[in-house]
Amino acid sequence: MRRIVCLLGSPRPKGNSALMAQTLCEAAAGQGAEVTTFALNALKYRGCQGCLLCKTKAEACVLKDGLTPVLEAVRGCDALVLATPVYFGEVTAQLKAFIDRCYGYFTPDYALNKAHRSRLAPGKTLCMVIAQGHPREDLFTDIFPRYAYFYNWLGFNESRLLRACKIYHLGDAERRAEVLEEARALGVELAGKGGQA
Ligand X SMILES: Cc1cc2nc3c(=O)[nH]c(=O)nc-3n(C[C@H](O)[C@H](O)[C@H](O)COP(=O)(O)O)c2cc1C
**Binding footprint of ligand X on the chain (CB under 6 A):** 10, 12, 15-18, 85-89, 131-134, 167-168
Looking at the Cβ atoms of 120 and 143, the one nearer to ligand X is 143
CB of 105 to ligand X, least distance (A): 26
171: left (phi over 0), alpha (psi -120 to 50) or beta: left
Q: Which is nearer to ligand X, 50 or 138 (CB)?
A: 138
Using alpha carbons, list the distances in angstroms from residue 93 to 25, 46, 96, 113: 23, 11, 5, 30
d(CA 114, CA 118): 9
Q: Considering the complex, state which of residue 54 and residue 83 has its C-beta at the smaller distance from ligand X.
A: 83
Q: Which residue is nearest to ligand X (CB)?
A: 15
> 16 or 118, CB closer to ligand X?
16
Q: Minimum distance between the CB of residue 95 and ligand X, rounded to whole angstroms? A: 11
Nearest-5° angle of CA 78, CA 82, CA 84? 170
Contact 196, 40 (CB under 8 A): no
CB of 93 to ligand X, least distance (A): 9
Give the nearest distance from C-beta 17 to ligand X in angstroms: 3
How far is the C-alpha of 115 from the C-alpha of 63, rounded, in Å?
27
Residue 53 contacts by C-beta under 8 Å, 6 or more apart in sequence? 62
